[in-house]
Amino acid sequence: MSHYFDTAHREEIETLRQRLTARTEWPTWLLLIGVYGGWFSLVLVSDRLGVWLCTLLLIPLVVLWLSVQHELLHGHPTRWPLLNKILGYAPFAVWYPYTLYRDSHLLHHRDEDLTIPGRDPESRYLTAERWQGSSLFEQSLHWLNKTVLGRFLLGAPLALLALAREELQRLKKAEQQAWFMWLTHGALTLLMLIFIARYSVLPVWHYLLLISMPALSIAMIRSYYEHRPHVQPEQRTVINEAAWPWRWLFLNLNLHLVHHDLPGLPWYDLPRAYRARREQWQARSGGFVVQGYGQLWRQHGVRAIDSPRHPFH
């Protein structure tokens, strides 16, 4: 636990961890059952629901699945990484293998490297050299990606292009781990798509382009302004006091500073920890507080929130 917490605060967090809910992790188990059961049920009854109603229900379910995978890689609901990996390996969201997401995200939790390009794998900023070497078209795309609308429309395609470049390099270098990961993920994804084609009315292309891509685009809204450049690492991470639909879809990751300070705390305890010390969390963030995703849309729907170029790296 961070040295930031005083004795009383440490005791509050420890009390949360000793609750029956935290010891049994039943909310996360229930969530896992719900997402798996919901996905298979929707696919199997898609002929009764129709393509578009099924689509509208599957998109938020896949967004929720991405949030569940995030819980799994942080050690929930079990203390065994292999079991969590097995629980989270289903390729419902298609594009990111679980192990790739897990390994890059855990690197992202080195708070001293947050936002720094080349060191933070989830940084949305460019070095001065990379910026100057980019074409006008590329710079325009990065500026658009700094608006909420641009993030929603371009965030997923840009992220997938960057992923393809990086992973193709690893495969060309014959990295054994990369080949094993992609072959495993590819095989499971193929089986899933065969299942969809065989037992649902959803065309495979429809699932790929009109369910998994919109789900990834919605998830991109969560990470749109989770971090900002700042000389103090603890002031690089946002507290977003979002409304309940977003809190549910993102499993309270809108309280992102609380999560970064307490990465082992499960999703259902983040609001309790935040409410108990709300003023302290906000002071620790240096005032990096957003009043919901609606505020971001109103202020930065079509206006860049900051520069794509990192200000001090």
**Environment class of residue 207 by beta-carbon count within 10 Å: exposed (0-12), middle (13-18) or buried (19+)?**
buried
C-alpha to C-alpha distance for 181 and 33, rounded to whole angstroms: 25
- Contact of 148 with 296, CB cutoff 8 Å: yes
> Tens digit of pLDDT for each residue in 211-268?
999 999 999 999 999 999 999 999 999 999 999 999 999 999 999 999 999 999 999 9
Q: Count the neighbouring beta carbons within 10 Å of the beta carbon of residue 177.
A: 11
- Per-residue pLDDT tens digits for 268-311: 999 999 999 999 999 999 999 999 999 999 999 999 999 999 99
Q: What is the pTM of this model?
A: 0.93
**E strands present in 166-241:** 239-240
Taking Cα atoms as reference points, which of 216, 181, 201 lies closest to residue 89?
A: 181
